[in-house]
Structure 1
Amino acid sequence: MTWKIKTYEELTKEQLYNIVRERINIFVVEQNCPYPELDDLDQGSFHLFYEKEGEIRAYCRILPKGLKYQQVSIGRVIVKEEYRRQGLASELMRNAITFVEEELQEQQIKIQAQDHLREFYGSFGFSPISETYLEDGIPHVDMIVGGL
């Protein structure tokens, strides 16, 4: 299984299109949550994904520190529905955290997690740093891993 990590400039038009399509399919359509998916943060982010036969099966974006938060952030974490419960989300997060630690030389990572995934992210060492709040109508919690 080959994971790819690319800057915005390195993505092909087809990869970018497929990534945005899957993010919209999951976050807007599947979760019935109309919100502005394109937020002008993709251009400064790293894009980590597993692609097979032109299909994006798992994806997240890694925002360098200072782009959105004081810390590096991992967001837009998705696994296409038919590939869930096969360990892809865990492998995706392990790869993202490794990239942050080894390539970006950062130890602290902040995420805005959907509250029902609190335990999943907790398994990677993330701890809540906020109360649960609504973001686009969905309960979220801010979480952090690494030195405070």
Structure 2
Amino acid sequence: MTNRLTQLRWQLSAFSEFSPEQLHKVYQARCAVFIVEQNCPYQDIDGKDPLSHHLVAWDNNDDIAAYLRIVPAGISYAEPSLGRVLSTQAWRGTGVGKELIANGIKALRQLYPSAPVRIGAQAYLEKFYGSFGFQTVSDIYLEDEIPHLVMLLPASDC
């Protein structure tokens, strides 16, 4: 499985740096995971994408293996945040999710040095995000009928 991960090409881009084809694939992956697989109709295109940076893991076929967006402070939360975190069905169980979060935190630290990071995480992933240093700072709440928690990664001087 690890060999598959070494084949991935990581791309950190502002929204305007995506080609139309890449942007189409991002929206296609987000729709497949968050709307179809989770059976959760909601407005995915929320106006935050043009303001955000996006981290994509592309496979050898230029398909998305994993994706997240980095939202600046003052948009979703007072702090910068990670959101729309996903791994595509074909890549689940390979460790790509761990690489995605590690690379997302690294990218966020480059963009916003020493800033705390706040996320709205699905509650079942609390232990996963906790393994990266995120701390739960809220009770469980429902977002689109899915249990979530707010979690905070403390500021770092990395």
Classify the TM-score, shorter chain: over 0.9
Gaps of 5+ in 2: 1-7
For residues 28-76 of structure 1, give each alpha carbon's deviation from its aligned partner in whole angstroms, at most 9, with x where no partner exists.
Answer: 0000011111100000000001112220110000001122211010000
Matches within 5 A, 1:123-142: 123-142=131-150
Match of 2:38 among 19, 31, 35: 31
RMSD of equivalent CA atoms: 1.3
Gaps of 5+ in 1: none
Identity of aligned residues (%): 39
Q: Distance in 1 between matches of 2:43 and 2:30?
A: 11
Q: State the partner residue of 1:58.
A: 66
Q: Distance in 2 between matches of 1:102 and 1:44?
A: 17
Q: State the partner residue of 2:25.
A: 18
Give the alignment's TM-score, normalised by structure 2: 0.90
**What secondary structure, in the 3-state scheme, does the structure 2 residue paired with 1:54 have?**
coil
For residues 65-115 of structure 1, give each alpha carbon's deviation from its aligned partner in whole angstroms, at most 9, with x where no partner exists.
Answer: 122211010000000011111110010100110111123213310000000
**What secondary structure, in the 3-state scheme, does the structure 2 residue paired with 1:9 have?**
helix
Q: State the partner residue of 1:73.
A: 81
Shift in Å, 1:2: 2.0
Which segments of structure 1 move beyond 6 Å, counting only runs of 4 or more? Answer: none
Match of 2:93 among 78, 82, 85: 85
Q: Distance in 2 between matches of 1:108 and 1:25?
A: 30
Q: State the partner residue of 1:48.
A: 55
* Count of aligned pairs: 148
Q: Distance in 1 between matches of 2:28 and 2:99?
A: 22
Answer yes or no: is 1:144 the counterpart of 2:152: yes
Checking the alignment, whether the CA contact within 8 Å between 1:50 and 1:59 is kept in structure 2 is yes
Q: Distance in 1 between matches of 2:86 and 2:64?
A: 10
Q: Distance in 2 between matches of 1:83 and 1:103?
A: 27
